[in-house]
Amino acid sequence: MIFRALTCLAVLAVLGTGQAHASPASASNARVEAQADTPSPTDLRLSLVGRWSGALGYRDYQSNRLFEIPVTTTIEALPDGLTLIRRSLFDDGPDKPVWITTVSLDDRAAATVTSAAFRAGRPVEPLVETMSVHDVRDGTHWTVVYRTVGIDGDAPADIRVTETLDGLTLTSVKDVRPVGADDAAWAFRNQTRLTRVTE
């Protein structure tokens, strides 16, 4: 009986050791499964379809003050699941409505988005941005970061837009820095704060 009990304890100890120390292959599989469960930037962007209302805030270059103007936005997705149409109306004072319509096309495989903004009296220039997903808690709490290289203050600049959905609130913050500068050089340029309009 004593021998049999010791044998059982030895077997349990071996099994316990095996469970406590996962193999490298198991750990790798767990990481792959976690990555597979993470939604793509496109999936998250498609969840923004609907009507939104809020304000555009921008920093004046001379006074360094933050100004805000009201904005209403409608986001529509086409059946292809890749194209978004964003129509925004900015209230820039009496008799000064500004309409901007942005059409974007996602590339799921490359995690990029190509977009063009249309505004009366302004040239249309295509923009290509890379997209990365950050801090996903669920379908209504996540962050997507967009990056590209463009022009800021007549000089080449890295441009970063951080889009965060927190329940019914959507914020987009644009930061810029000189090309190749370190993270300390990021400077705020503008932001959009929107709240989903529910029926």
Same domain, 73 and 141: yes
Tokens 């767990």 belong to which residue?
30
Same domain, 72 and 165: yes
Closest CA to 48 of 102, 114, 1, 12: 102
pLDDT tens-digit series, residues 149-163 = 999 988 999 999 999
Closest CA to 42 of 116, 99, 117, 115: 115
Same domain, 8 and 80: no
Same domain, 54 and 145: yes
- 155 Cβ partners below 8 Å, 6+ apart? 178
pLDDT tens-digit series, residues 134-143 = 999 999 999 9
> What's the domain range around 19?
2-37
Same domain, 33 and 46: no
Amino acid 196: pLDDT: 99
Same domain, 6 and 94: no
Same domain, 100 and 29: no
The model carries a pTM of 0.80
Same domain, 26 and 118: no
